[in-house]
Amino acid sequence: MDSTVQSDNYFRDIAILDWLGELGATEAIAETGINRYDLPDIAPYAKKPASVIAKPAQPAKSETGPASESLAAACTDIEMLQQAVQAFDGCVLKKGARNTVFSGGNPAARVMIIGDTPDRDEDRSGRPFSGQAGDLFDKMFAAIGLSRQAETSPNAIYTTCLSPWRIPRNRDLTDDETRLLRPFLIRHIALAKPEFLVVTGSQPSKVLLGFEKGIKHTRGRWGDVSGIPALATFSPANLLRNPLNKRAAWSDLLALDARLKG
């Protein structure tokens, strides 16, 4: 086969796999192909004995938080928490993710930013705020003198996501998933001990601050997470989709800057 054709087929197959991943597929059904035109051998029909009564199927056990709460509480530093999250197999979201997206930047920073659940770029890189949205994120905070590359605490920022794993089709977390993953996030914040939190997007604002309305109506508001002042604002991804929101986001950054300068 011509090498050009082989290359085209390769990229086509990769595109198909990516598309299936977007739809939520996590594994192949079988290792070998199935001939669906081959009729199976049909055994003679036989009645079940009257004494055999099928038991009703038991409902699937919902995901709850106690296991994650105890694991998170046992962690005494951020490195230990990261290892616990990476080893945790109690959440089905992990099976469909490429990477565990735990954190980025300097954990000694005064400001910690909480992003939404990982998107495609973050899932691939394993870092919060990646891709085009990450580029905008860096420019936003550089405008007030902050950077996730900064080595000194006064100018550094630390980042994480609402969930360590990407969700198929970028839907919101379910209530069970939230109860399961929230203890890891709350413990992460407690171990990092930032002076201020910035919560980006509607879903993180709802989970952490209890804001029921969307981020368009709650941005600029301050709340409290475990005694730490927290500011709600637009996510960089939102600003890419809605450039007119950048003016309001800039106002929020100036409010954060004013707090940092006392």
Burial of 250 (0-12, 13-18, 19+ CB in 10 A): middle
pLDDT greater at residue 41 or residue 60: 41
pLDDT digits (tens, 9 = 90+) for 131-140: 999 999 999 9
Which ranges constitute the DSSP H helices of the chain?
3-22, 66-73, 78-87, 120-125, 131-142, 175-192, 202-204, 215-218, 236-241, 246-260
In a domain, 94, yes or no: yes
In a domain, 113, yes or no: yes
The domain in which residue 204 lies consists of 66-260
In a domain, 49, yes or no: no
Q: How many domains does the chain have?
A: 1
CATH classification at residue 131:
3.40.470.10
Are 130 and 124 in contact by the 8 Å Cβ rule? The answer is yes
3-state secondary structure 189-226: HHHHCCCEEEEECHHHHHHHHCCCCCHHHHCCCEEEEC
In a domain, 17, yes or no: no
Matching residue, tokens 């616990």: 84
Task: Quote the pLDDT of residue 262.
Answer: 85
Phi-psi region of 129 (alpha: psi -120 to 50; beta: other; left: phi over 0): left
Give the span between the Cα atoms of 250 and 248, in whole angstroms.
5
In a domain, 256, yes or no: yes
Q: Phi/psi at 199 (nearest 5 deg)?
A: -110, 115
**How, if at all, do strands 196-200 and 111-115 pair?**
parallel
Task: Quote the pLDDT of residue 170.
Answer: 81
Judged against a pLDDT cut of 70, whether residue 171 lies above it is answered with yes
Matching residue, tokens 């089905």: 92
Q: What mean pLDDT value characterizes the chain?
A: 85
In a domain, 46, yes or no: no
Taking the alpha carbons at both ends of the chain, their separation in whole angstroms is 68
In a domain, 151, yes or no: yes
In a domain, 5, yes or no: no
Give the span between the Cα atoms of 187 and 226, in whole angstroms.
10
Task: Quote the pLDDT of residue 52.
Answer: 41
* pTM given for the model: 0.76
